[in-house]
Amino acid sequence: MDKLKTGIGIEDCSGCGACQSVCPQKCVSFEKDQYGFNKPKFSDKCVDCGLCARSCPQNAANLSRLEFKRPEGVYSAVSKSAEILAESSSGGAFSEIAKVFCDDETVIFGAAFDGDFSVKIDCVEGLNNIAPLRKSKYVQPEPNIAHARAKEFLKKGRRVLYAGTPCQIAALRLVLGGDNPNLLTLDFSCHGFGSPMVFRRYIEEKQREFSKKIVGFSFREKARRGFNYSVTSTAFLFEDGSRVVNFKDILYKGFVRAFFKCDACSKCPYARGERISDITMADFWGIEFMDSSLQAGKGVSLVLANTKKGMEIVEKLKDSMSIKEREFSPSVKKNTPLISPVKASPFRERFFESIKTDTVENSIRKLLPPKTLKSHILRIFYLLPVRMQIAMTKFVRGLARRK
């Protein structure tokens, strides 16, 4: 495998853009590979200064320059604001943390959709403008010099809140060369980047299917199904103001099965219990089995306070969020990216070959496992009230122990 100037193989690049941020010769650009992922290209202006290699979060030599910390505090957290809860993918932790840390002049970085459904790392000033940065976006962002912009704001004495994937936070720390008292970093339990090409193709196909323009998309829509709230629903918002919710969305199924994820994500060095950000946010999967008064589908954040700075922020959240301290191991049990990297799919190449001649939806359906009696039973099971699910699970586990 040919190595990039950053010292890694091209398949190991996550496309964070750190190399572009630090290049003094402005010789780094990005182009799409055959799967639609952003990969760096270095022009002949490169003078081999090595700054890009020292700033690359995927370069193993840089891991020793980062401080990985086991969380000092682990919490379940739910916003007390019905509005924030409704506008968030999970329990509203991002918005509530921003309220605590930010003033009107704080610069807030995070992922936002562009007009053509590209994802970009954008920055806004003040709390009133953070709406585009809310909610999950399972697509690789377009590279830009966000890390360099954050560094400039910090040099001017501005407060900066930077939310991103663990590799993006690692890139920021490497670009900065350390921490800054005016900086708060938030990462999240990252399931990997989906292909921007696949996502845009899906949107285009759905526009043709519905015969109207899609102007908004939500990867995680809180929608009631049966007695519970679905955690795998998506929603389309159309130009005419109408809206369609998809339960068990096919794109989400393909994403979870890693049919179109970035190669680098299956080898991620940051998918582990030790974190490099001040605070880690995640969905609290399985919270129902620890606390029957809560339900993940309605929105419950898992919050890991990893530094002293992070702990101070969490202490201030207690007025605006319902918070309870938890133990680490049982809390992350159902959250794979907080334990190990997501697994690569053996069907990835077949999927990308299929979409050359077929739709994204059909290409995913062809690769999904056939429905079985067990899958039908599970479908009914997840429609039952949560308390009934818990009772049945305990009963089945009890039978298994007796055997």
* pLDDT band per the 50, 70, 90 thresholds, residue 376: low
Cα–Cα distance between 220 and 342 in angstroms, integer? 19
In this predicted structure, the answer to whether residue 357 has a pLDDT above a threshold of 90 is: yes
Say if residues 160 and 142 touch (Cβ distance below 8 Å).
Answer: no
Strand ranges for 260-384 from DSSP E: 279-283, 301-305, 321-325
The Cα–Cα gap between 19 and 37 comes to 16
Q: Kindly indicate the confidence band of residue 374, based on its pLDDT and cuts at 50, 70 and 90.
A: confident
Please state the length of the chain: 403
Instruction: Answer whether residue 395 shows pLDDT above 80.
Output: no
Q: Output 237 or 374, whichever has higher pLDDT.
A: 237
DSSP bridge pairs for 246 = 234
- Backbone torsion region of residue 331, taken as left when φ is above 0, otherwise alpha when ψ lies between -120 and 50, otherwise beta: alpha
**How large is the average pLDDT for residues 255-269?**
96
Asked if 40 and 13 touch (Cβ cutoff 8 Å), the reply is yes
Confidence of residue 1 (pLDDT cuts 50, 70, 90): very low
pLDDT for position 176: 96
pLDDT at 312: 97
φ, ψ of residue 225 to 5 degrees: the values are: -140, 115
